[in-house]
Amino acid sequence: MHSPSLKRQTGRKTPTLANEVAKLLSPRAHADDALMNRVFARLRQLSPVHWVEVPGVKPFWAVTRHADILSVEHRSEEFGAEPRTYLSSEAMDFALRQVSGKPQVARGLTEMDDPDHRRYRAILQRSFTPVALRPLEEWVRDRARAAVDAIAGRGGLCDFATEVAMPYTMRVIAHMLGFPEADDAELIRLVHGFVGAEDPQRRLADQPAEAMRLAMIGLRDYIEAAVAARRSCPRQDLASLIGAAKIEGQDIPHYEMISYFYLMLTGGHDTVALALAGGLHALLTCPEQLVRLRQKPELLDRAIDEMFRWTSPLRHFMRTARQDTEVGGQQIRAGEALALFFGSANRDETVFADADSFRIDRFPNPHIAFGDGPHFCMGHHLARMEMHALFAELLRRTKHIELAGRPRRAHSTFITGVVSLPIRCTF
């Protein structure tokens, strides 16, 4: 931890924003979207690259402006994804190292730098291109039709987040991996336990570290069995590609192989489900936008981009400076960590006109909900395909949609969004 005298010598005079910093570190605060947007706005205005030094958390820079985050993401030679990728307490870091036996809880694409990042990304990169995904389009539309059929079968009343968005997105990524539909509910439970270890309704145990340990063990056991089956009898699925992949002529190490599946299941399911539920919630709370979208369905693709900007399910990633450098006019020393808050960047008033308004026709829309630079999400085409198929079907077949209860958002500093959205539809 840096001493106050050393900080003074390097000119690090930042405003005291204790309340804002406390909210950045609070899973419960991140469940209050309006509150966090106020926190981010204040940081962007007063201290957009803000030094955070509080007991129990390794010091870091909170980066909240769009331009500064892009600057970091595009300078991968200066800022690494290793060794610190997620914001957590020192106690949590220690507990998770005991679980994994490694410096990080997982080592997938999001935790890697080149050359490993480039080599591992190449394993599935081609599987997520528009050309490779085209044969999947009709199947995804069928799943969207089935999801809306299920809403109609319940008399139009359902929890859109838990009964529609989550099963729908899990089925898509599980189908691509080659996992049977009968396993979807258990995979959802384990994935939510993994990313929602601090959420009272998603976690698998009271203590976050134990909750994550249980989820990791469950996912690990499932993945190991699936990979063993693929290695003995390969299929035309992503699990077979990962299981058979080699890096410099060698099988993927077990830790990295398991981590690859963690990323596919969390990134391919939970973030898209949160964007779906949060996107519908935005339409229902801005009814004039829903009316306009019904009148102009050709705006759906722009509306989907606005949903990603608006929801920003992935709250942050961390980067570590590899050398002395600068971000947003602030001197950064080698070895210091930066937390890049994507949700704040996506509300940056210097980039987005009327940034706190949900507008389905927003264009251009340079949001960074999928990150940017070398770590730009390779599943973004698939996510948009899923969103388009479900919203097109829902809007085409329903006459009216309204809230039927209070929404609930996940408690998490990492991945958050609407996890319960009771609605009533008229067909």
Asked if residue 6 has pLDDT above 50, the reply is no
- When pLDDT is averaged across residues 123-135 and rounded to a whole number, the result is 98
pLDDT of residue 1: 39
178: left (phi over 0), alpha (psi -120 to 50) or beta: left
The C-alpha atoms of residue 276 and residue 187 are separated, in whole angstroms, by 19
418, β-bridge pairs: 409
The predicted-structure confidence for 213-228, as pLDDT tens digits, reads as follows: 899 999 999 999 999 9
Range of the domain at 342: 4-426
The C-alpha atoms of residue 53 and residue 343 are separated, in whole angstroms, by 22
Asked if residue 399 has pLDDT above 60, the reply is yes
Q: List the one residue out of 357, 427, 355, 340 whose CA is nearest residue 151.
A: 427
- Domains in the chain, number: 1
Asked if residue 27 has pLDDT above 90, the reply is yes
pLDDT of residue 5: 30
SS3 6: helix
Of all residues in the chain, what percent carry a pLDDT higher than 70?
A: 96
**pLDDT confidence tier of residue 98, bands split at 50, 70 and 90:** confident
pLDDT of residue 14: 64
pLDDT of residue 13: 57
The predicted-structure confidence for 267-289, as pLDDT tens digits, reads as follows: 999 999 999 999 999 999 999 99
Q: List the one residue out of 244, 248, 252, 276 whose CA is nearest residue 395.
A: 276
The predicted-structure confidence for 240-259, as pLDDT tens digits, reads as follows: 999 999 999 999 999 999 99
The CATH number given to whatever domain includes residue 52 is: 1.10.630.10
Lowest mean pLDDT among 91-105, 320-334, 366-380: 91-105
pLDDT of residue 105: 79
- What is the average pLDDT value for the chain, to the nearest integer? 94
